Chains A and B, each alone.
Chain A
Amino acid sequence: MKMIQRYPSNSRYLVDLGWLRSGLSFSFGEYFDPENTAFGVMRVCNDDQVAGGKGFGPHPHSDMEIVTVVLRGQVKHEDNLGNVAITAEGQVQRMSAGSGIIHAEYNASETEELHFLQLWFMPLERGGKPSFETCSYDCTRMVNQLLPVASSTGGEQIASINQDMTVYLCRLEAGKELVFTQEAGRRVFLFVIEGKLQVNEHLLRTRDTARIQAENLLQLATDPGEYAYFMLIDLP
């Protein structure tokens, strides 16, 4: 059965801790809905805004592929493997937690707000060797085309992730259209970062998401005078 489930931005669970404002697409922290813990191998999509000088202190992860897409500002990562890195807009961070990693992540700026999407996926295999990388991509290459920024094969300007999936970013200019072919048995998670995106018969606005299965062809379009900046994830 063809299915596009649209999740308006205001249906997300919102967290406001003062220093952290977060929109949660899946169960996380104080929000627990047993019917909303995963979409295929995807477990977390947190839309986080972190105040200057603030962040998440040292904590462990295991058996999870964690991709952080920085939208504005800079995130500083530090882990027990000795990695210290700052990731900014135009870059993604990939952490394969494997058999265990302790890390901390902070807003690298004392004054500017940090805004990122943090995505967690179950790995192909549990118990792997933990690793971390940051990857830069050319923002001009995402205009009117799907730019892979993380995938199972990795590559130049593409972070390598231990799962059969691809994270794409795209800036679709006004009046443009793209077609994405959804292979049988695959899922697509869409997140509109900014703008208005028509997905087949559904309109997604800023911060809306969609979970899509068995659609075969996805027509992704913008109306004249509108544009869309979005993330598309193709996953099992």
Chain B
Amino acid sequence: MKETLLIKHAVGGRTFLDSHKQACEYRVEETKTGWKVQVKKTFDANIAEILKWKDELNLFLFQEEPGKPILKIWFYVHSGPVTYDHEAGELTVVADSRIAYIPDSFGSSV
């Protein structure tokens, strides 16, 4: 399965992180209250923008499997926290909930 992590500005859609274009290690973990997304990435202008617009992020996982339509999983980031650990070089985004949908068959969310 091919998976892409995207972090975008919810107002206007500027892309701050695209794991397909900027290779980076990440992991998504379900917690008791939502989801935690951690990304290993050197601090740069895009990380700064993510922190600046932390209340207005669209965080996605796009999952593609051969012969199947793309599955998009969108995460709702309410109050985060959204933090960056300079020592570890790691961005952490805590999301409250998520919605998965298949654009090709919209109307039948999964």
Q: Which residues of A contact B (CB under 8 A)?
A: 27-29, 31-32, 37, 43-44, 57-58, 60-64, 78, 80, 84, 99-100, 102, 104, 120, 126-127
Contacts and interface: CB of A to CB of B under 8 A. Distances in A.
A29 B99 contact: no
A62 B76 contact: yes
A78 B12 CA distance: 20
Given A60-B58, A78-B107, A29 B78 contact: no
A28 B58 contact: no
Given A100-B99, A102-B101, A104-B106, A61 B10 contact: yes
Contacts of B99: 60, 80, 100, 102
Contacts of A58: 72, 101, 103, 106
Nearest to B98: A100
Chain B interface category by residue count = 20 to 34
Nearest to A60: B74
A200 B99 CA distance: 48
A62 B10 contact: yes
Contacts of B96: 99, 127
B12 A102 contact: no
Q: Interface centre among A27, A43, A62, A127, by most B CB within 10 Å?
A: A62
Contacts of B106: 57-58, 78, 102, 104
B13 interface: yes
Contacts of A28: 11-13
Contact of A100 (B55, B79, B97): B97
